[in-house]
Amino acid sequence: MEMTFAEKILANYANEKETIPGQIVTVQPAHLLTHDNTAAIIQKVDEELNKYGVYSKNLSIIVLDHVIPAASEKTAINHKKIREFVAKHDIKHFYDVGEGVCHQVVVEKGLALPGKLLLGSDSHTCSYGAVGSFSSGIDRTEAASLMLTGQTWLKVPQSIKVHIKGSLSKGVYAKDVILHIIGDISASGATYCSVEYHGEVEQFSVDDRFTIANMGVEMGAKNSVFFVDDITKQYLKSIGVNESAYSPVIPDLGASYMQTLDYDLNNVVPMVACPHTVDNVKPADQLEDIEIHQCLIGTCTNGRLSDLEIAASILKGKKIHKNVRLLIIPASKQIFQEAMQKGIIQVLVDSGGMVLPPGCGPCLGAHQGVLSPGERCLSTANRNFKGRMGSKDAEIYLASPATVAATALNQTITDPREVIE
């Protein structure tokens, strides 16, 4: 039988010849990601962990990123508990505060590989489809159970094929593409589904693919995936992973899809997701009277080197508007270092930006730039739900790094094509 990516990879992991949508399979994921929530997870099964130990010290990837450095006594105690757990159980893949946002770290350290299945107690675990992995989010209880048993059940999803053609115009980026798609199919348009990207995708770098896969969950998807090609191979090589280390999974030509969607990139313009849902998307040039108080460039969606580079190219030699605060959060220490070496950080700080440590920053509203009632933030993040960045009476808009940088100059939402020379 001809199978989709999800059907194939779940068959591999379930030791079955084939699987069909709706089937329930038992799988042992290659890795389990948890972050600051590890403290709450291990607390649930404290007794069992003491008695039986962890299933495998190679299974867990633990990255401290959500509230770093600790913002309160409570978060500090959580971090301490996690460090003690890591030492006691000799957890192999542990990244302490300052290393970066969990999803970036997982990909950057070569822990997400083509053909692998990863689960994580974070909804944006779906990001690793950028390098051809099947990855999906689960809750804390399930993560606790996985730490003990190494296995769980998954339902084989239906698949949606997104077929891309055409190319992006100047000033339009991967973020605009995914906002355009989510605006089109809605926040629930891909619920329970595996989303595969086909067609002219060679124009997307791994950074671009990361941005697109990362936001799969914002349309309800279980996972989203780009298939391994020369771009993936080159990226993996650049982080020290040779081709012999992985076996890509590619869907069969005749596989059947619940839906096929066609997008012509020539029609995509700079987009902004307006409050308070990600599918409330409008072209940036229709929002030019909206005043913004805080601009944020970073997060697991758009905190990579290419994102900071685009922002710097717009801000170089200019000053941001005096009524705007510009927060810059490199998605990892490595990106931070490269951005320093390339002079990008210098440009961003000269223009008036403020650099925060590599982590989630104010993305989830815990600290470092939360909003007051009545304030508006334009962010490169993936979610604009009411109350997410602090006050429930604040508003969050989402856009590409270029749109955020252009807006920081003008204070009102700005189509980046107006400022790009």
Partner 1 sequence: MNVWKYGDDINTDMLFPGKYTYTCSTAEEIKPHLLEDLDPTFSGKVKKGDIIFGGKNFGCGSSREQPVVGLKAVGIQAVVAKSFARIFYRSAINQGLLLIESSDAVESYQSNDEVTLDIEKGIIMINDKTFSFPTLPSEILAIQDAGGLLNYTRNKLKEQ
Rounded least distance, CB 73 to partner 1, Å:
10
The amino acid occupying position 369 is G
300 binds, among partner 1, ligand SF4, none (CB under 5 to 8 A by kind): ligand SF4
Rounded distance between C-alpha atoms, residue 229 and residue 196, angstroms: 14
Examine residue 148 and tell whether it contacts partner 1 (CB under 8 A): yes
Record the tokens describing residue 264, joined without a space.
Answer: 């012509």
Examine residue 59 and tell whether it contacts ligand SF4 (CB under 6 A): no
Examine residue 388 and tell whether it contacts partner 1 (CB under 8 A): yes
Examine residue 273 and tell whether it contacts ligand SF4 (CB under 6 A): no
Q: Tokens 């909003």 — which residue?
A: 371
Rounded least distance, CB 313 to ligand SF4, Å:
23
Piece in contact with partner 1 (CB under 8 A), picked from 67-75, 85-93, 169-177, 323-331: 67-75
Select the residue interacting with partner 1 from 199, 386, 411, 420 (CB under 8 A). Answer: 386
Examine residue 97 and tell whether it contacts ligand SF4 (CB under 6 A): no
Examine residue 191 and tell whether it contacts partner 1 (CB under 8 A): yes
Contacts of 312 (CB under 8 A, 6+ apart): 344, 347, 348
Examine residue 381 and tell whether it contacts ligand SF4 (CB under 6 A): yes
Rounded distance between C-alpha atoms, residue 399 and residue 380, angstroms: 5
140 binds, among partner 1, ligand SF4, none (CB under 5 to 8 A by kind): partner 1
Tell me the HSE value of 287 on the side-chain side, using a 13 A CA sphere: 28
Examine residue 417 and tell whether it contacts partner 1 (CB under 8 A): no
Select the residue interacting with ligand SF4 from 101, 119, 219, 398 (CB under 6 A). Answer: 101
* Among 6, 13, 5, 52, residue whose Cα is nearest residue 29: 13
Piece in contact with partner 1 (CB under 8 A), picked from 4-12, 44-52, 241-249, 348-356: 44-52
Which of residues 66 and 233 has its CB atom nearest to partner 1 in the complex? Answer: 66
Examine residue 400 and tell whether it contacts ligand SF4 (CB under 6 A): no
Examine residue 218 and tell whether it contacts ligand SF4 (CB under 6 A): no
394 binds, among partner 1, ligand SF4, none (CB under 5 to 8 A by kind): none
Which of residues 56 and 123 has its CB atom nearest to ligand SF4 in the complex? Answer: 123
* Among 284, 267, 299, residue whose Cα is nearest residue 420: 284
Which of residues 37 and 411 has its CB atom nearest to partner 1 in the complex? Answer: 37
Select the residue interacting with ligand SF4 from 364, 412, 418, 420 (CB under 6 A). Answer: 364
Examine residue 67 and tell whether it contacts partner 1 (CB under 8 A): yes
Rounded distance between C-alpha atoms, residue 412 and residue 401, angstroms: 15
382 binds, among partner 1, ligand SF4, none (CB under 5 to 8 A by kind): ligand SF4
Examine residue 257 and tell whether it contacts partner 1 (CB under 8 A): no
Which of residues 47 and 421 has its CB atom nearest to partner 1 in the complex? Answer: 47
Rounded least distance, CB 408 to ligand SF4, Å:
19
Answer whether the bond into residue 358 is a cis peptide, omega within 30°.
no
Examine residue 44 and tell whether it contacts partner 1 (CB under 8 A): yes
36 binds, among ligand SF4, partner 1, none (CB under 5 to 8 A by kind): partner 1
Select the residue interacting with partner 1 from 16, 18, 142, 229 (CB under 8 A). Answer: 142
Which of residues 136 and 334 has its CB atom nearest to partner 1 in the complex? Answer: 136
Residues that bind partner 1 (CB under 8 A): 24, 26, 36-37, 40, 43-45, 48, 52, 66-67, 72, 74-75, 78, 120-123, 125, 137-142, 144-145, 148-149, 153, 187-188, 191-192, 217, 220, 222, 277, 364-366, 370, 383, 385-388, 390, 392
Residues that bind ligand SF4 (CB under 6 A): 66, 101-103, 122, 124, 299-300, 360, 363-364, 381-382
